[in-house]
Structure 1
Amino acid sequence: MRYSLRQLEVFVATAQDENISRAAAGLAMSQSAASGALRELEEQFGVQLFDRLGKRLRLSELGRQVRPQAENLLAQARAFEQSLSGDEVSGRVQVGATLTIGNYLAVPLIALFRARYPQADIALNVANTKTIAEQVAGFELDIGLVEGEFNHPDLESRPWRDDELTVFAAPGHPLASKAALSDRDLQSLGWIMREPGSGTRQTFERAMHGLLPDLRIVLELQHTEAIKRAVEAGLGVGCLSRISLVEAFARGSLVPLQVPARDFTRQLNIVTHRKKFHNAALRCWLQLCLEQGSGTLPTR
């Protein structure tokens, strides 16, 4: 064999960090040792895996092609090592989740996973759908739980669970007691929305098809709780997942507005890389998500 697992570790770490010093630090190696391992790997096969841009290293076209194989070889080697040590399910799973999922659904799943598999762990990264998809595609994350839609040739998306957005306002809003809002009502409102690129924004814009040019967006915020606080303060109305509004509706700090003419339903999805090796921990996390994904939505 003309390469070592250590060389592959250096290659993958450098691809992630785009910097040999940070890659070396992450692997507890000296910079010279890491540089030497990467140089030997390239020289042994007469290839260039990175384009050098000062201190920054970017994957060459060949580097991008072989990175998934290197990632999978390392994952399989770690799985083999775990089998030899008797640890059936161990290691860390890098999970990405969009805001609603990360704040309201992922934490109970992590608690259940840790209870079942105490030798394994979950690292959670919360971002919008676009960012999570890019990180799964770049092997920065093992799996993503997302609210939005995307197209990427290297990613596989499977349905996870149903969700629905709800339009809401402060209890004292003039339209709070109206039985159903018309399109004219929707056009008269000031909207406080999630940012473009989020799954919630995608679903809202799909539901409001035909009205978008006439809607008045008064504020865009990246955090669900900030939107809820702004609506409570009377700055406008919002539209978020019903999952995130259950407690506020129960205590009466926010109230739902009925919009029967518009479809706010959506599908939450699980995203994985088509070429990603699924070790025991990742398989168990995926199975747990699918088991729990059949739960019913909270009631209004």
Structure 2
Amino acid sequence: MFLATAHDGSTRAAADRVARSQSAASSALVELEALLGVQLFDRSGRRLVLNENGRAFLPRAASLIEAAGELEHLFHGQHAAPLRVAASMTIGEHILPPLLARWKVSHPNSPVRLQISNTTEVLAAVAAFDADIGFIEGPQTHPDLSLREWMTDEMVIIASPTHPLARGLVTREALRQARWALRERGSGTREASDRWLLAQLEDVQVDFELGTPEAIKALVAAGDALAILPRHSVAASLRRGELKELRAFLPTAVRQLAVVTHRERRLGAGGEAFLEHCFEGVGKRKRSAAARSVMS
């Protein structure tokens, strides 16, 4: 308002220039002069003329407005700061990559930086403001975070194709006596595995604890251990015949995947658009899966 008034010589013309009422324009100038503790204009009839203070302030005010415009461009233009996303292993390695690829096509000037770790570490990153958005597996949460259900994920029991249990239906007793390879504690996959195994088998022999799904798959394919992993992370290995999904008279193990954000941080337009993109992507995935099911 100061710059417009200095240019036009009246609050009426300045108000028209910035699409505000004359009273609002006059109030803005009074507040600015009160804040600075000096008058910036000499009143001459209906005209407002810059005085010595106003002339000294003019170039600095213009520089501030220019800098503000540069900041706006920084966060909306080609140099936008990356959206920081933290995701658990399964989500970060198998679910988010195609969504990120499509996001890049539709939003080339909105970069995303993805950090992959286990669910506990994702929650800690969002809580500490080290990540803007977190994608997690299971019901874990944090008092400072808001949680939104995103999609479901099926867990499957896998074995080497040469394992004796890979030949037919498997009994509960056979699963109880088997050797198991599970994810490390703190991961959403481990929490879901423990919850399901405890409910269905009461007790199992855990011989191996490994930090990544890839390590577990390699161990299972080469030995006699069983594992329970998300279908998303084993689908390709099952198609190639490297692993075998065991069939048993047991309820399907399904877990909830979720999105977490900090209660005290408001996502910008880019973050909200990215979340909308991810939720729409899940909807398209469900519709595609339903269509394949009907056709088969």
Distance 1:102 1:79, change over 3 A: farther
Rounded Cα–Cα distance in structure 2 between residues aligned with 1:79 and 1:104? 39
User: 2:192 aligned with 1:196, yes or no?
Assistant: no
Aligned partners of 2:159 and 2:224 also within 8 Å: no
Tell me which of 201, 205, 226 is aligned to 2:194: 205
Q: Secondary structure at the match of 1:214?
A: coil
Rounded Cα–Cα distance in structure 2 between residues aligned with 1:93 and 1:186? 43
Rounded Cα–Cα distance in structure 2 between residues aligned with 1:159 and 1:79? 38
Tell me which of 218, 232, 250 is aligned to 1:261: 250
Deviations 1:50-108 (Å, cap 9, x if unpaired)?
A: xxxxxxxxxxxxxxxxxxxxxxxxxxx99993369863993210000100111111111
Distance 1:219 1:205, change over 3 A: same
Distance 1:258 1:178, change over 3 A: same
User: 2:136 aligned with 1:136, yes or no?
Assistant: no
Tell me which of 107, 110, 124 is aligned to 1:117: 107
Gaps of 5+ in 2: 1-66
Distance 1:190 1:88, change over 3 A: same
> Match for residue 222 of structure 1?
211
Gaps of 5+ in 1: 1-76
TM-align CA RMSD: 2.5
Q: Secondary structure at the match of 2:256?
A: strand
Aligned partners of 1:191 and 1:218 also within 8 Å: yes
Extract structure 1 runs of 4+ deviating beyond 6 A.
77-80
> Match for residue 150 of structure 1?
140
> Match for residue 107 of structure 1?
97
* Cα drift, residue 182 of structure 1: 2.3
**Greater CA deviation, 144-153 or 123-132?**
144-153
> Match for residue 284 of structure 1?
273
* Cα drift, residue 109 of structure 1: 1.5
Deviations 1:103-152 (Å, cap 9, x if unpaired)?
A: 11111111111111111111111111111001101100000111122232
Distance 1:85 1:209, change over 3 A: closer
> Match for residue 91 of structure 1?
81
> Match for residue 164 of structure 2?
174
Q: Which structure would you say has the larger Rg?
A: 2
Q: Secondary structure at the match of 2:248?
A: coil
TM-score (norm 1): 0.68
Within 5 A, what are the aligned runs for 1:12-91? 81-82=71-72, 87=77, 90-91=80-81
Deviations 1:233-274 (Å, cap 9, x if unpaired)?
A: 014111110011111111111110013323410111111111
Aligned partners of 1:91 and 1:281 also within 8 Å: no
* Cα drift, residue 178 of structure 1: 1.8
Rounded Cα–Cα distance in structure 2 between residues aligned with 1:78 and 1:211? 60
2:204 partner letter:
L
Query: What fraction of aligned residue pairs are identical, expressed as a percent?
Result: 34
Aligned residues: 222
Rounded Cα–Cα distance in structure 1 between residues aligned with 2:131 and 2:68? 17
2:91 partner letter:
I
1:182 partner letter:
T
Structure number with greater CO (CA < 8 Å, separation at least 6) is 1
Q: Secondary structure at the match of 1:167?
A: strand
TM-score (norm 2): 0.69
Rounded Cα–Cα distance in structure 1 between residues aligned with 2:75 and 2:219? 53
Deviations 1:167-210 (Å, cap 9, x if unpaired)?
A: 0101111110122x222111111001101111111111111225
Q: Secondary structure at the match of 1:124?
A: strand
Q: Secondary structure at the match of 1:262?
A: coil
